[in-house]
């Protein structure tokens, strides 16, 4: 039996409330504009047939809300919170578990991971083989931007450098470019 192709859809959370002194960063929520734009972007992902088997999300409010919107938009049937996707956490053990031979759901094909910057773009860079020293600058995910990574077969010799970059979609591409206002005559 041929190995199953696996994909990760890395999704940065949508536009969130600004950081403010004395407020808990983990509690910052999506703004009304952030919710609206994220919903529109998620609908485009569904239209592009990028549906996922499951959404794994950082537990921080803005990421969790983005993941909940992904489920509501039909990108995936359910979500699970994963502390490994919180800022500065190490997501590699989580990915080892999901991509390894004893996956929690062996039949999955595509997982969505909702998280934060610069963590997601650094993770993507490392998974496609960018050296650690250059990884933080190699890719950049805007809010609600998407990276799609693919493994044609199960990684045998470790995760780092084993994936292929399939898509890098900034929000402006997902939402379509706004037409320039006509100039006065």
Q: What is the pLDDT of residue 163?
A: 93
Cβ atoms < 10 Å from Cβ of 173:
15
Is the bond preceding residue 135 a cis peptide, omega within 30 degrees?
no
Q: What is the DSSP letter of 30?
A: B
- Give the rounded percent of residues in the chain with a pLDDT score beyond 70: 91
CA-nearest of 11, 35, 37, 36 to 172 is: 37
**pLDDT for residue 71:** 98
* pLDDT tens per residue across span 141-157: 999 999 999 987 766 66
CATH 2.60.120.280 fits 6-17+38-174, yes or no: no
Share of the chain above pLDDT 90, in %: 65
Distances (CA, A) of 115 to 88, 89, 145, 151, 176: 11, 10, 11, 20, 23
pTM for the predicted model, two decimal places: 0.89
Confirm if 87 and 119 have CB atoms less than 8 A apart: yes
Q: For residue 114, what is the enclosing H or E element? A: strand 110-115
DSSP 75-108: S-S-EEE-GGGSTT---HHHHHHHHSTT-SSTT-
- Would you tell me how many other CB atoms lie within 10 Å of the CB of residue 154? 14
pLDDT digits (tens, 9 = 90+) for 95-128: 989 988 788 888 899 999 999 999 999 999 999 9
Structure tokens at 116: 């934060």
The Cβ-side half-sphere exposure at 107, using a 13 Å CA radius, reads 1
Please state, in angstroms and rounded to a whole number, the distance separating the CA atoms of residues 71 and 52. Answer: 10
What is the DSSP annotation of 36-84?
HHHHHHHHHHHHTT---SEEEE-SSHHHHHHHHHHHHHTS-S-EEE-GG
Report residue 1's pLDDT band, with 50, 70 and 90 as the boundaries.
very low
């Amino acid at each position: 039996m041929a190995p199953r192709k696996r994909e990760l859809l890395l999704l940065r959370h949508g536009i969130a409330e600004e950081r403010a002194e004395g407020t808990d960063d983990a509690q910052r929520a999506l703004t009304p504009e952030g919710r609206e734009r994220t919903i529109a972007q998620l609908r485009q992902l569904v239209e592009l047939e990028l549906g996922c088997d499951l959404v794994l999300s950082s537990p921080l409010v803005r990421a969790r809300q983005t993941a909940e919107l992904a489920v509501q938009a039909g990108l995936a049937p359910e979500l699970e919170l994963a502390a490994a996707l919180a800022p500065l956490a190490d997501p590699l053990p989580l990915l080892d578990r999901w991509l390894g031979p004893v996956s929690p759901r062996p039949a999955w094909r595509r997982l969505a991971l909702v998280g934060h910057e610069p963590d997601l773009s650094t993770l993507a860079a490392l998974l496609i083989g960018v050296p650690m020293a250059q990884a933080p600058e190699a890719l950049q995910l805007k809010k609600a931007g998407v990276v799609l990574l693919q493994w044609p077969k199960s990684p045998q010799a470790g995760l780092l450098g084993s994936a292929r970059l399939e898509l890098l979609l900034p929000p402006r591409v997902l939402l379509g470019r706004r037409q320039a206002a006509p100039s006065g005559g």
